[in-house]
Copies of this chain bind each other. A is one copy, B any other.
Amino acid sequence: MKKRASVTQKQIADRAGVSQTVVSLALSNSYDVTLSEETRQRVLEVADELGYVPQAAAKALVRGRSANLGLVLIRPHYQVFRDPFIPNIITGMSGVVRAHGFRLLVEHIDSLDQINTIANLLKGGEVAGIVLLTSYGLENIVDPLVEDGYPIVMLEASRKAYYGVGLDHITGVKFAAKHLVTLGHRRIACITFGPFPNDHIQRRLNAFCEPLLEAQIDRNDIWVREGNYDPDSGYEAMQSLLQVRPLPTAVFGMNDMMALGAMRAIHEAGLRIPEDIAVIGYDDMRFAPFTHPTLTTVCAPEVEQGQAAGEMLIRLISGERIAERQYALVPQLIIRNSCGGQVLHLNT
């Protein structure tokens, strides 16, 4: 392959008659800066004339860090990228990463014998830092890396010492439970995630039950079934719940996909939503405002989470001091028609 001589940003700055800062901003395709389109274009043209090529790998070795930021996803699920949560995180992270001239490396780990990947990416200099989902059960792997000062931001932080931007799902599921209680439901089912055990999910389930028990609903009038994220599993879980007598009057799907599957099973049983059984979901996926009836759900700001995690990671890499190591974005109840009640948002 043809090789070109390496051209520096200084050479570009001199030729274009602008500062090196302007050059680096223009070349980083930064959004959030106020470069005139004219200046940006001129810098890019000069960079082209001179045949400028960012030698990322070389820079990585020289600076002892990489131009890549890693998004490491640990999920026992080969279809991890079809879970809309991940594309939302990537959407939010990708913009920030590019705006700062980094690139996004996406790594999926679906079995524990690949767990060394986390250390290898960082120690091998393949990435300057990592946004990690999830740290649960991996503290023995993550702790030494954090102690060595490698920049890592968690999407689900399992220790106070970790940096993390989370979603407050505990509050989110309580919104769903309180909404059902407010509407007078006393026999309530929940389709949760399973079958692999996960404290995080268990805490979410407990949080959902809390407002129900506070409202004096009998434990025996709360039914729990396990799904696996996919609508098919919500469909099957609901078919099992339709055997319960008397029928539950409301069902909570811990994601919209499973809620959608539950809706299908209810329709096929010839029952009405919400008159016979109310359905509430979680996530506010793209399709939620368009189901029949439209799906009442809880909106978790996932794109914003990806954005905030990327920003925190870049601040860590830049050596900034970060006072607030962890914070969580709070979800929002979106009332549509699947539980009755007025429509707050038709399109989200």
Task: Using CB atoms and an 8 Å cutoff, list the residues of chain A in contact with chain B.
Answer: 1-2, 4, 29, 40-41, 44, 47-48, 53-58, 60-61, 64, 66-68, 78-82, 84, 86-88, 90-91, 94-95, 98, 103-108, 113-114, 116-117, 119-121, 123-126, 148-150, 230-232, 235, 257, 260-261, 263-264, 267, 286-287, 289-292, 294, 347
Contact = CB atoms under 8 A, between A and B. Distances in A.
Q: Taking the full assembly, how many copies of this chain does it contain?
A: 2
A285 to B, nearest CB: 8
B90 A78 contact: no
Contacts of A57: 57, 60-61, 66, 124-126
Given A53-B119, A54-B126, A55-B124, 8 more contacts: A56-B125, A57-B66, A57-B125, A82-B286, A84-B87, A98-B107, A231-B287, A231-B289
Nearest to A67: B126
A235 B346 CA distance: 11
Nearest to A149: B1
A84 B85 CA distance: 12
Contacts of A103: 105, 107, 121, 126
A124 B48 CA distance: 14
Nearest to A73: B94
B29 A114 contact: yes
Contact of A286 (B80, B230, B267, B294): B230
A260 B295 CA distance: 13
Indicate the member of A105, A124, A150 with the most B CB atoms within 10 Å: A124
Contact of A81 (B53, B66, B94, B290): B94
Contacts of A91: 78-82
A90 B98 contact: no
Contacts of A64: 1
Nearest to A236: B347
Indicate the member of A2, A53, A55, A267 with the most B CB atoms within 10 Å: A53
A289 B290 CA distance: 15
A157 to B, nearest CB: 21
Contacts of A4: 123
A67 B257 CA distance: 36
